[in-house]
Amino acid sequence: MDSIRSMRADEKHTTDHRAVELWGRVINGFEVTNRRLHDAIDREFSLTAAETQVLLNLHRQPGHRAPMAKLAQAASFSTGGFTKLADKLTKRGYVTRAACSDDRRVTFLEFTPEGLEVAGRLTAMAARTNHEVFIDVLGEQRAAQVAEAMTELFRANAPAMD
């Protein structure tokens, strides 16, 4: 009897079209909104979404510098993948690497003067665009609720970083 109930519960989950629809609506809303933001950024700064995320995150850090491992984790990158991204940003003249004086294993990423100027303009544009396509559409309270829900999903589902 329990196995029959279990099978029925499994069947319910495998044919739960509402669950699929809900997630599809989340993805569709995110993708079209994110595309508008990144298209505007790409036109103005010629940055990829990953480069943008790193520059915006670094710009929010105290002293505009942070350990590369911390930035990699925040961007959901492996340390190896993040190193390649940092190399690209270094070649563009936006960031440099700096050794940690207390721990040889830690390398900081920090802005060059040009990178800091670009990050300031990028932050202002991202804020304006996020208001237009996200916050003004949903309102402050609902936008904050969406952000909290997505943070909760990130924490629950993000893979452990190496």
Determine contact, residues 43/29, Cβ cutoff 8 Å.
no
Token match 């495998």: residue? 14
Domains of the chain: 2-157 (1.10.10.10)
DSSP 105-151: T-EEEEE-HHHHHHHHHHHHHHHHHHIIIIIHHH-HHHHHHHHHHHH
For helices 17-45 and 113-130, the axis angle rounded to 10 degrees is: 140
pLDDT at 149: 96
Token match 């700096």: residue? 98
- Is 14 a residue whose pLDDT tops 80? no
Q: What is the pLDDT of residues 64-115, one digit of tens each?
A: 999 998 898 888 788 788 899 999 999 999 999 998 888 888 899 999 999 9
Which tokens is 10 given? 């499994």
Element (H, E) at 3: helix 2-14
Average pLDDT over every residue of 18-47: 94
Determine contact, residues 19/79, Cβ cutoff 8 Å.
no
